[in-house]
Amino acid sequence: MSAESPAPPPSAASISDALAALGVYANVPSAEDLEQHALDAGGELRLAAALANALYGAAIGVGMLAEGHMLAECDGTTEQAEQLGLARNQALQASGATGPGVIGMMHWQAAHVGGLLRGLAKGDQIGPLGSAAAAAAWALVLILDVFSVVDLTDPRKDQLLETIAEAREQLVLAGEHLERMTGMAIDLAAELVDLVAAAEHASGIGSNGHG
């Protein structure tokens, strides 16, 4: 029995058409434009991958907007949860992911979030709470990476223990960042207490006519 042929790679033009349908482009690129973009990107496949990620981001924006309108019309918490679950299940159906493929898709999505957060954390742009989110998100990426290894021929199986160890390290790091947040919150609370006491003291002086 012959193995199934792999699915053909998506064309840059087809993905560009989808972006155009979402209204992303200020000026829809022509076939000649896409050909030049492919040359600039280093090939059709690289351009297709770049456009696919742009399409993913655009679809997220459209999805958030649509969900916001949908949830605005829901009255109860239970109804909101059910409607949101039904809506987001469409992403699984559209991806064609079944069985282990669902974990693979989740890993791919988590990597987008984790990668972005890690980039922001390296630039110290998101503070300790954001850094905690980055570490926790990357731990999830690593755990899903392990979870998606279901074949003994998968080369990742030889690094499973190392991947799990790295995930644990990221979770510890997330905890350390949260501890920093706790310390900052305690310090902030103490400052607020002192500020309130100072305000009360000043108010008392004023009411006694000594101010």
pLDDT tens-place string over residues 158-176: 889 899 999 999 999 999 9
For tokens 């690593």, what's the residue? Answer: 142
DSSP designation for 126: S
> Among 45-54, 77-86, 130-139, which stretch is predicted with the lowest mean pLDDT?
77-86
Task: Please report the pLDDT score of residue 208 as a whole number.
Answer: 44
Task: Please report the pLDDT score of residue 40 as a whole number.
Answer: 93
Write out the two tokens for 118. 């890690």
Assess whether pLDDT exceeds 50 at residue 130: yes
Q: In terms of pLDDT, which residue wins out, 185 or 39?
A: 39
Whole-angstrom Cα distance, residue 25 to residue 70?
A: 26
Q: In terms of pLDDT, which residue wins out, 46 or 76?
A: 46
Residues 199, 177 contacting (CB under 8 angstroms): no
Taking residue 29's Cβ as centre, other Cβ atoms within 10 Å add up to 17
Measuring CA to CA, which residue among 6, 17, 89, 86 is closest to residue 58?
Answer: 17
pLDDT confidence of 46, banded at 50, 70, 90? very high
Assess whether pLDDT exceeds 60 at residue 2: no
- What pLDDT digit, counting tens, does each position of 47-77 carry? 999 999 899 888 888 888 888 887 777 766 6
pLDDT confidence of 211, banded at 50, 70, 90? very low
Task: Please report the pLDDT score of residue 1 as a whole number.
Answer: 39
Assess whether pLDDT exceeds 50 at residue 206: no
**What Cα–Cα distance (Å) separates residue 86 from each residue in 22, 64, 66, 69, 83?**
22, 14, 13, 15, 5
pLDDT confidence of 128, banded at 50, 70, 90? confident
